[in-house]
Amino acid sequence: GHRPIALAGGATGLIGDPSGKSAERQLITTELLEANIAKVKEQLRRLLDFEVKVNPARLVDNASWTKDVTLLAFLRDVGKHFSVNMMVAKESVRARMEDRETGISYTEFSYMLLQAFDFYVLCRDYQCELQIGGSDQWGNITAGIDLCRKKLGQQVYGLTLPLITNADGSKFGKTVAGAVWLDPARTSVYRFYQFWIRTDDRDVARYLKYFTFLSREEIESLEQKHTENPGARQAHQALAKAVTDLIHGSSATAEAMRASEILFGGDLAGVPETTLSEIVGEVPTREIAKSALEGPGQPLVELLIHVELCPSKGQARKDIEGGGAYVNNVRESKVARTVTTSDLLFGKYVLLRKGKRNYVVLTAK
């Protein structure tokens, strides 16, 4: 079998790849890049096995073989194997050169040579035979294939995968608005889980095939269930659980699922504060002085108006009497109900709900 090699861009990351970009990338500092690579290493450990005895994964950083190469040596040993005509013909370069406003800097223009040099070193020192990347990397990968053939006389291969897009045509990417991150410090586990729950119906079957290890039979069964009862969202739940399990582990996934259930009327008893905090970040919030809830507290009727769940006292009374008002997911039917400090969760939150989906978190300050 083959040994997977994960390549960190300690060198190329300082320049930036122009592929798929309409403008010059912002350069980042060495310190920030090193911090990013350290985090990527930890993320990869969740996906690749670096400890197994047979063909363990390997993580290498292209800065280790690039940092000591002089400019003259690079131009002589690598640059001479590439014609400018060929480089300009690459789609990623040609598109930028045709834009007179932005153009392309020599820095980004040379990125192709650096990535080709990476493939050459990986082939020479690590016996790497196949490079896998997104379809936007085709030009860079084929440049590396050519360099390996010219300098080593070896045949290596490239495999590109289509860039993942949503049903509306927008693509996944770290620079796209609403991007989802693997690092829980950037995207909490709850929001990560919700990202997949909210997958467009048109995408869910495709994503189950892309991002999970479910069998073909299991996915086809989920597709059938979704067709029969779209509202149950069983396919979405299976997708969200599988991907979140893979990235964050089953324990964190269970907590995210618990938080999700709360917004569908789940019991709040025993919910940890971390889970409740996730919910606070997902629904509208309103503040109230904690002193206002002391003693007799505040009438629920008044609070429903205060948080804008009801437009008037008359409507608030009607909703309460009709069983459509909830305090901490418990249905309230008495118009005289007041909310006091005893209702505060962790001494600061009250979850108010009208109907099935209209939530507001009241935060006591």
> Binning pLDDT at 50, 70 and 90, where does residue 28 land?
low
Instruction: Over range 320-330, report the average pLDDT.
Output: 93
Contacts of 194 (CB under 8 A, 6+ apart): 240, 256, 260, 282
Q: How far apart are CA 315 and CA 301, in angstroms?
A: 9
Look at residue 147 and tell me if it is in a domain: yes
Kindly state whether residues 153 and 203 are assigned to the same domain.
no
157 and 11 part of one domain: yes
**Given phi > 0 = left and psi -120 to 50 = alpha, else beta, which region is 323?**
left
DSSP 291: G
Is the residue at 278 inside a domain? no
Cα–Cα dist 20/283, whole Å: 35
Comparing 8-22, 119-133, 230-244, 328-342, the range with the smallest average pLDDT is 8-22
d(Cα 83, Cα 116) in Å, to the nearest integer?
Answer: 13
Three-state secondary-structure class, residue 178: coil
Question: Are 22 and 149 within one domain?
Answer: yes
Kindly report, residue by residue over 218-266, the tens digit of the pLDDT.
Answer: 999 999 999 999 989 999 999 999 999 999 999 999 988 888 887 777 7
Same domain membership, residue 146 and residue 212: no
Q: Is the pTM of this model over 0.75?
A: no
CA distances from 336 to 67, 156, 290, 297, 305 (A): 73, 77, 20, 11, 15
Tell me, what CATH number does 328's domain have? 3.10.290.10
- What would you measure as the largest C-alpha separation in the chain, in angstroms? 86
The two three-digit tokens of residue 77, written as one number: 């040993």
Quote the distance between the C-alpha of residue 92 and its chain's center.
25
Q: Which residues contact 270 (CB under 8 A, 6 or more apart)?
A: none
pLDDT over threshold 50, residue 25:
no
Q: How far is Cα 171 from Cα 347, in angstroms, rounded to an integer?
A: 42
Counting the structural domains of the chain, the total is 3
pLDDT tier, 24 (very low <50, low <70, confident <90, very high otherwise): very low
As a whole number of angstroms, the distance between CA 140 and CA 19 comes to 9
* pLDDT of residue 311 exceeding 60: yes
Residue 280: both structure tokens together: 């606070």
247 and 292 inside one domain: no
Its domain, for residue 71, covers 5-161
Quickly state the pLDDT bin for 268 (edges 50, 70, 90). confident
In this structure, the dihedral spanned by the alpha carbons of residues 338, 342, 347 and 348, taken in order and rounded to 10 degrees, is: -10
